[in-house]
Chains A and B, each alone.
Chain A
Amino acid sequence: MLETLQNLGLGFQVALAPGVLWYGFIGCLVGTLVGVLPGVGPLAGISLLLPVTYGLDATSALVMLAGIYYGAMYGGSTTSILMRIPGEAASVMTCIDGYAMARKGRAGPALTIAAVGSYVAGTVSVIALMVLAPPLAAFALRFGPPEYFSLLLLGLLVLAYMNSGSMLKGLAMAALGLLLGMIGIDQMSGYFRFAYGVAELGDGIGVVPVAVGLFGLAEILLTAGRPDPPEVIRPRLRDLLPSRQEWREANMPIWRGTAIGFLIGVIPGSAHVISTFVSYAVERKISKHPEEFGRGAVAGVAGPESANNAATSGAFVPMLALGVPGVPVAALLLAAMMVHGVTPGPLLIQQDPRLFWGFIASMYVGNVILLILNLPLVGLFVNLLRVPYPVMYPIILVCSILGVYAVNSSVVDVWIMLGTGVLGYVLRKLDFETAPIVLGLVLAPMMELSLRQALAMSAGHYAIFVTRPISVTLLTVGVVLVALALRPLVSRTLDWRSRLPAES
């Protein structure tokens, strides 16, 4: 414990250095804007801002990009509560009761409860991250290729299981992403696969153009031609404070949301989105007045908002401890680390303690910055929504093209963004989720390499995956998940997704 505190002290020295603090602040500010603006989620935001970090040192870059991530989680609640437009996917549940509170004249308290809940969840979950990541990293040193393969397979299965749509569609999208990840030079044999003479595809398809295409461009294609945005409710500063009764109603949901969010966040998958659904369902289930949900229940705002922020920190656990991205945003952060010459994985804590602990400490600082930013400046952020979308989207489009091009100075990446943008547009029209594609794309090379290395270790015997304890445990969990997903088909019982409340 003493060692952890000493390390945290080192982290605060790094995080409070003026340069790092400044970039952390910029990250939080930009992240909040990203969260406020519908259609620009944290994935697109980080992708767009990635080139800006090229000139920075690794710590400042990572702190800034992480700031964008959790800033977007905070900012997403503003439009959900005031306009019933989720700034990003994790804020969907906040729309229901947040907007209902706003319609009853309680927009200010709803925003305050969301911000305070986010702050508590963010801070508590960083403590949990701090405690959990180092021992997990030490444990991960026991991982060889079979364990990594099983872990990656489990990650994909969890992602598909937790998918808010059907598991089958989630798996199909993950398989599509894995196939896209096969493009490029085969790491073991040197064969140039599916590149059709395009030299730029030698290193494979980059995660940034695919992410910007699937999330940024697809959203613009879907939204740009739609009619005018809905009415914006503007709270006054003096109306921000919740009543004593509202604080009481928010207290326990904030703590429950924090626990649920962090635990779900640690598991690879669409963590923050799922955590909000689960938190909302739990709050409604245990509430003495479930009939109030959908009509402005305080717990319906406090729980999901806390959960999505706790899940954000939770998602960093596998990324920092194992070097395995659990969510697409973590995959982008890993890519950013590699761009800056940092090798993610279990040895990161030992080899680069300043970066690791600086990053952890910056999250504490970031939470304070976000609390300050989100309450007094809420009016300012809401004013951004006055900019009409027909003016906003060309600006976002220029940033998308610029961000994608700047990663490798390659127009091939811009074409890839265009292709995946159209793919994302069509898939969204056909009710498919696109996040598993990005995760599949990132995991594909790791997965193939670890499979072939494991088989090389065992002289071609697949028994290696079931004779090693960690590997077999991970595979067993995967099998259980598949069985759980298949159960409704067999028994015709409905799973938790169908019991979620419909938006009123």
Chain B
Amino acid sequence: MDKVLEFLGVLLANGGFLFAVYWLAKRFPMRPYRHYAWEVFLMRLLFAVTIYYSLQFMLVGAGESKPPEILKNHMQKHPTGLAWIFDLTWMANEGVADVLRWVLVVALVVYVSGFLLPVSTLAVFLIHNAVFTLNNSQGAIHHGYQIITLPLLAQLVVVWLPWIARLRKKEFTLPEGQHMRDLFVYATQLMIAAAYVLAGVAKTLRSGLHWIADSPYISVQLVKTRGQKFYEYLDPRLADMGMPYAEWMAAHPWLTRGMLTGGLLLELFAFLLLVNRAWALAFGLALILFHKCNEWLMLLHFEQNIDVCMIFLGNVPFWIVAPFIVLLGREPRSLSR
């Protein structure tokens, strides 16, 4: 009986989600919209800084006490991705790490400039992907860096589209009024949305409606994550392993369910951030809040997610400049559609 109920829960949750997607997709066009060249330049600049910092601990380290993390990865006993085909352990070498770091810096500078994007994006993607593929091939999968590599992959596909068309002797055209940079931002946002939708779908596929019913047990995970943090540094402030928070959650199961269901819906419907700038901003801020709550409660840090959401969804520079564009009597590009 339990199994039947479980199956029905999964069926209902996923069926309901698919119906909601169908209904929303008919209502909202979710097509690429126009961007200014300067805002996309700033996006590339800020993203380049995020990429560099995400790789810094792997390739540079921080002085003698913190050598580059990649040096630890001289095996790939549990391959993932490209490590199934290629031996990537050659990167676990101080000299190679140094070369990779400088190639990365040059590639990032060219990437930010906007010239030779097919080459610079390819170089940045290959380095980021290879370094974290090797890191994830050690027997412990980490989910903190896909949020950078996946958007890079999407950008790579976009910047290669005209080149691929040329190779196939076909003409590459965009709809009227649309620019490559619009597609560049759209593909990046699409990949960010996909990462969150996937996280939501993983929950509904595995647990269905049981996920919501069982969600007060997150308090057990809270005790675990805080306990893990305590045993990493023996910080006396974490010695209680978050018991007061966990006990509060366990004592208020419906509030906990409400809170977690909000998070699940945010993940499942993250594709709506493609509707227009305002939706991207709203989802960006909501996702940042979601990560901040995780950080505060579970001590789970997803800095890269926050940075990427801020850059490509929050798009703060545009929203600072937008009122001035309106004051000058011009219509900001695609505030809404």
Do A and B form a real pair?
Answer: no
A interface residues with partner B (beta carbon < 8 Å):
none
B interface residues with partner A (beta carbon < 8 Å):
none
